[in-house]
Amino acid sequence: MICENYCSFEVSKLLKEKGFPQDTISTTCNTCYKYNGNFCNNVKSMSKVDREICFMAPTHQMVITWLKENHNVWIYCYPSNWKKYGEWEGGACWIDENVSVIFNNSSHSLYANEPEEVIEMILLYVLRNII
């Protein structure tokens, strides 16, 4: 079954700290983590007080778009071995008149069996060290 990939609790906390818009809860995103780390997929059923202390759980794509539009950081992920299924790598860069690589697989170990795992690792690195 195809489903959206939501950010982890750790990424969601960092996003709130770094200014990711939390007011999109219940408008474009109906998922969040409660303060104790429990995932909630129906924000509209929460009280207003609970909504204010939760962390929005956006999809990876929402965060990738936010990083690109607000911080000019581009995230990428691709198969690391075209002949062997299940090996992925990725990185991040700034796009301006010169493409400046923030990091990639040669500077960090960003290999995983699934692209979603690589994206999660990249998001954690960028939010902890760049933004």
Predicted local distance difference test score (pLDDT) of residue 44? 73
Mean pLDDT of successive 10-residue segments in the chain (131 residues)? 85 93 64 82 73 84 93 85 70 70 60 84 90 84
Q: SS3 for 40?
A: strand
- Write the DSSP assignment of 51-80 as a string of letters: HHTSEE--BHHHHHHHHHHHH-EEEEEEES
The residue ranges of every structural domain in the chain are 9-129
Structure confidence by residue, pLDDT tens digits, 25-63: 545 567 888 888 888 877 777 777 677 778 888 999 999
Assess contact for 113 and 122: CB atoms under 8 A: no
> Could you count the other beta carbons within 10 Å of the beta carbon of residue 14?
20
